[in-house]
Amino acid sequence: MRGDELITESGLFGECIRLCQEIESSPVGLAAGMMIGNPFTDVPDLRTNSLVVTDGDAEMAEKLASQLAELFWQYHEAMQVPLLSLEESVEQALGAEGTVF
């Protein structure tokens, strides 16, 4: 994920946070969240998850959680970092001034 897109104030992920806050301030929403998973594994349990808790309305919770997941999916490509090949990474590191982390 791109760090600049995870900034709540200006990044795309902030849109998801604002939707969570909107859900939580609604009459039915008790809690809402977007848990960012690890996109670089093949472990399904480490995926990104949306969660909404309502006051006894499971159908509404599912609808709102789906809405939140769809918003995140809408932005998922823009939140990806372009990956470099190993060769490109080494070349870039060797060309950098100072310590490379």
Domain ranges of the chain: 3-95
Q: Examine the pLDDT at 23 and tell me if it is beyond 70.
A: yes
Contact partners, residue 43, CB within 8 Å, separation at least 6: none
pLDDT at 39: 67
Alpha carbons 75 and 17: distance in angstroms, whole number = 13
Question: How high is the pLDDT of residue 70?
Answer: 96
Please provide the average confidence, as pLDDT, over all residues in the chain. 89
29-44: average pLDDT: 86
Residue matched to tokens 């959680």: 65
Q: What SS3 state is found at 76? A: coil
Instruction: Give the mean pLDDT of 69-94.
Output: 88
As a whole-number percent, the residues of the chain with pLDDT over 90 amount to 58
> How far apart are alpha carbons 1 and 14 in whole angstroms?
13
Return the number of other C-beta atoms located less than 10 Å from residue 70's C-beta: 10
